[in-house]
Structure 1
Amino acid sequence: MADTSRVTLAEIAAEAGVSLATMSKVLNGRTDVSPATRARLEEHLARHGYQRRTSAQRSEFVELVFHELEPIWSMEVIEGVEDVAHAAGLSVVLTVSGDRHSPAPDWIDGVLRRRPVGVVLVFSDLEARYREKLRSRGIPFVIVDPAGDPSPDVPSVGSANWSGGLMATRHLIELGHHRIAAITGPEDMMCSLARVDGYRSAMNAAGLPIDPELIRFGDFHPGGGEHHGRELLALPDPPTAIFAGSDLQALGVIAAGSAAGLRVPDDLSVVGYDDIALSRWMSPQLTTVHQPLRRMGEEATRLALRLADGATADTLRMDLATHLVVRDSSAPPPPR
């Protein structure tokens, strides 16, 4: 790599065959530069490892990016990010963009113009070209609860999803349930697969058969939980317990049980995942796996700020522990 202590923007511009004015437009996220020229300059900037070095060149805020704002779940992460940012004298800018895999293409130009101190993203990964653009500007980024399997060089903070699925299912087994269903999240999300893998491991360890018909991939929303719950409870041999991969899905499952004339937990046990505030106010109060959403937001922001200060992270991947919270929605199965 070139000696970044000596290289200048003028030299990089000359090497790329463009004017310094064009280089300035790219650095400032202007849109009046052709995609081909922008890509060429980004390549040269990345090769030289050029980064902005002074805080005066960036705004004093952290940017938090979601693909959707689910008010209850998202608020936990937002509050964690805000706590750490405010303690550092920074504000938080909230952006909604793209899908669960990555922000939309126009997001990168906007964030380069805004120049935040750091970026916290709730996505599965960040495309390599976006990562290089952010790094070339000295804008650190961290992914929270990656739904996929982020690249090894991507800083990320997640939780122990496999252990959470294991604990939820083991709890139901210990209550005496044998016919246990699992409704996890989308099949293309790593956290969904990890939670259902924990379910399978608990069933295998207990010597219980795993019926593929009892494993469903949902969407983490109440509607998905209700849809799959209705289908599961309409089976000739329905489950006596359902592990839902999110508290919101668990809410849908309870609605499906009520529609089928079942009482929770007398006739059907339900365990959720996340431990959002609503889980303590549902009727019955929800047994669930506590996922430290707020702390995940806190740790991601702390890491982004450390990277912004030029520190080297001890590890780029942090998985926080989950634990089971037993409340009123789980009980022994009804007698047969």
Structure 2
Amino acid sequence: MRGRSVPPKVGRTTLATVARSAGVSVTTVSKVVNGRSDVGPQTRALVESLLEQHDYIGRRSPAAKGSAATARIELIFKGELNAYSTEIIQGVLAAGVEAGIAVAVSTRPRAAAGVDASRPRAWARDLAAAGRRAVIAVVDELTSADLAALSRAHLPLVVIDPLNLQRDQVTSVGSTNFAGGMAAAQHLLALGHRRIGYVGGSTRSACNQARMHGYRAALEAAGVSVPDEYQHTGDFRYQDGIEGGAALLDLPTRPTAVFAGSDETAAGVIEAARARGLRVPDDLSVVGFDDTEVARLSSPPLTTVRQPLREMGGVALRTALRLAVGEKLDSHHVELATELIVRGSTARI
């Protein structure tokens, strides 16, 4: 097999550039880059020679194989990791093993007001220099400077559950949050509840808004009004559930059921009920969202809306790899189906 002559380099070399020069597929070049064994020796030698000639930035050296430096995808979280994060990580890592791609997991603090605009550029350059081929951000509110820096560094971005869904700018993976919110409310309505509160995440969060709108749509379709004081927002955390649950349960006419926007929040609502001498589900039914380990370890086990977090992580990684080799996507946003899981935290009124 003969390679074609190497064209003059313009900008950054991609896998597709090397594939064209070698007369092989992008997949074959990717396998060579990632040390896969299922490539013939002649083809491997040709591709490695062209990677060297092209000075391909993502090419890993023999000394780097098996080390953290071989990671090709950066999985970034903001803030503290929790049960939700763990499910996403498991999904991304499993997909990475299947694809023969290592994954680096990191956290990135929020940028302070007035932050130097060069910092996003330095961050993106450091990722590219470390051999990263794409970035997956989880529930991340990236700035326009971040997006521009990643684009300039030729690092594709995939966001999981973005706070503000920008379909024309960001490739993202989520779940059917609106349908999940409807399913939670419909379940409680079927049990005879009519006073149903909501404790959720940030008002800026697209997934929170979708869950809350689904909950409201189900109640309105059943002719049930939703008082303003029955809705509380926070940050999907346990403490938000305690505070929002306390506000609901201290009302003169308290709800008989609460739909929480996450399992952690639901656990906080259950604690607020316990502190007031209320039993779940005898005195208060509670539904969560996510179906993390928190739901299964809760007492009683939590009825929740399962969003396929591990599957979402896997889809995000495979999408990031497709973007890294220059593939075009049919859609910038993918939604996976949610499912109501009934356990012991809800009961007929």
TM range (shorter): 0.7 to 0.9
Q: For structure 1, list consecutive stretches of 5 or more residues without a partner in the other structure.
A: 11-50
Q: Distance in 2 between matches of 1:283 and 1:127?
A: 40
Aligned to 1:330: 346
Pick the aligned partner of 1:94 from 97, 102, 105: 105
Aligned counterparts of 1:319 and 1:52: Cα–Cα separation in 2 = 38
1:221 Cα offset (Å): 0.9
For 1:192, the equivalent position in structure 2 comes to: 208
* 1:308 Cα deviation after fit: 1.4
Out of 51, 56, 79, the position equivalent to 2:59 is 56
Residue 330 of structure 2 corresponds to which residue in structure 1?
314
Mapped partners of 1:124, 1:148: distance in 2 = 9
Task: Name the stretch that deviates more: 302-311 or 103-112.
Answer: 103-112
Matching residue within 260, 265, 280 for 2:281? 265
TM-score by length of 1: 0.79
User: 1:95-132, CA deviations, whole angstroms, 9 ceiling, x for partnerless residues?
Assistant: 1113499x984633432332302211113443334333
Partner of 2:263: 247
1:219 aligns with 2:222: no
1:59 shift after superposition: 4.7
Whole-angstrom distance in 2 between the partners of 1:219 and 1:6: 51
CA RMSD after TM alignment: 2.5
State how many pairs are aligned. 288
SS of 2:248's equivalent? helix
1:251-285 CA distances to partner (integer Å, 9 max, x unpaired)? Answer: 01001111111110011000000000221121111
Q: Write out per-residue CA displacement over residues 118-171 of structure 1, whole angstroms, 9 at most, x where no aligned residue.
A: 211113443334333323333222111112122413111011111111110111
CA distance 1:315–1:216, change in 2 (3 Å) = same
Indicate conservation of the 8 Å contact 1:216/1:228, yes or no.
Answer: yes
Aligned partner of residue 166 in structure 1, secondary structure: helix
Q: Work out whether residues 181 and 215 of structure 2, in 8 Å CA contact, stay in contact via their aligned partners in 1.
A: yes
Equivalent residue, structure 2, for 1:21? none
Structure 1 residue 310 displacement after superposition: 2.1
- Of residues 297, 301, 304, the one that matches 2:313 is 297
Correspondence 1:200-215 to 2 at 5 A = 200-215=216-231
Identify the match of residue 81 of structure 1 among 79, 89, 92: 92
Q: Distance in 2 between matches of 1:266 and 1:198?
A: 25
Q: Is the 8 A contact 1:182 1:244 kept in 2?
A: yes
Contact 1:100–1:123 under 8 Å retained in 2: no
Query: Structure 1 CA distance, aligned partners of 2:110 and 2:73?
Result: 20
- Tell me which residue corresponds to 2:181: 165
- Residues 1:65 and 2:76 aligned together: yes
3-state SS of paired residue (1:223): helix
The one-letter code sitting in structure 2 at the alignment partner of 1:113 is A
Q: Against the structure 1 CA distance between its residues 261 and 308, is the aligned structure 2 distance closer, same or farther, given a 3 Å change threshold?
A: same
The alignment-based identity, stated in percent, is 40
For structure 2, the residue ranges without an aligned partner over 5 or more in a row are 1-6, 13-53, 61-68
Alignment of 1:132-143 (within 5 A): 132-143=148-159
> For residue 254 of structure 2, what is the amino acid of its counterpart?
P
Q: Distance in 1 between matches of 2:232 and 2:334?
A: 28
